[in-house]
């Protein structure tokens, strides 16, 4: 099966191409991703330099915390990515909104994070790594959003 490497927003004004095919996608249950996505944010981890914007005139960003920003289409409102801006080994890491990929065929949900923030009304079936907020913060070596260290 051919894994899609292209995607974009709902109106098509923002388009991108990935350097390599994604290996899967993860779910983030945090309250900010819930607001940003309008549901459950599903993201594809893309290393810095792993994505080329083929069209980005309407691409806008919002600084959602001291250590990350979020990208969206200013015309159609599609959620496009979360990007780590905090200094560190993972700076520039993009979590690309999986739904923006032209097809999710052949890809699996491989991990969940902020599992301790997941609303009780829904849950993904199956077994996979599930990280808490504390485990995620330790992984990215960034200070907590509130600034308490």
The residues of the shown chain that bind Zn ion, judged by CB under 5 A, are 9, 11, 13, 28, 30, 33, 73, 75-76
Least CB distance from residue 96 to Zn ion, whole Å? 13
**Residue 131: CB minimum distance to Zn ion, A:** 11
CB closer to Zn ion, 11 vs 108 = 11
CB of 78 to Zn ion, least distance (A): 5
The nearer residue to Zn ion, 104 or 114, going by C-beta atoms, is 114
Give the nearest distance from C-beta 87 to Zn ion in angstroms: 20
Instruction: Collect all residues with Cβ–Cβ distance below 8 Å to 47 and sequence separation of at least 6.
Output: 92, 93, 94
Give 17's Cβ-side CA count (13 Å radius). 4
**C-beta of 20 vs 52, nearer to Zn ion:** 52
Distance, CA of 101 to CA of 86 (rounded, Å): 26
* Residue with smaller CB distance to Zn ion, 13 or 86: 13
d(CA 71, CA 59): 7
Q: How far is the CB of 1 from Zn ion (least distance, A)?
A: 27
Q: Residue 18 or residue 33: which is nearer to Zn ion going by CB?
A: 33
Q: How far is it, in rounded angstroms, from Cα 123 to Cα 120?
A: 7
Residues 6+ apart with CB under 8 A from 121: none
**Nearest CA-CA partner of 139 in 114, 119, 103:** 114
């Amino acid at each position: 099966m051919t894994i899609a490497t292209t995607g974009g927003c709902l109106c098509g004004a923002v388009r991108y191409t990935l350097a390599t095919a994604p290996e899967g996608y993860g779910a983030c249950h945090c309250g900010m991703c819930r607001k940003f996505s309008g549901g459950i944010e599903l993201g594809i981890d893309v290393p810095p330099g792993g994505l080329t914007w083929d069209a980005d005139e309407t691409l806008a960003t919002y600084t959602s915390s001291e250590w990350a920003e979020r990208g969206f289409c200013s015309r159609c409102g599609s959620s496009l990515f979360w990007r780590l801006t905090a200094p560190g080994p993972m700076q520039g890491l993009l979590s690309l909104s999986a739904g923006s990929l032209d097809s999710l065929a052949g890809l699996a949900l491989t991990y969940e994070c902020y599992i301790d923030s997941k609303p009780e009304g829904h849950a993904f079936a199956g077994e996979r790594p599930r990280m808490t907020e504390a485990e995620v913060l330790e992984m990215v070596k960034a200070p907590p959003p509130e600034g308490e260290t």
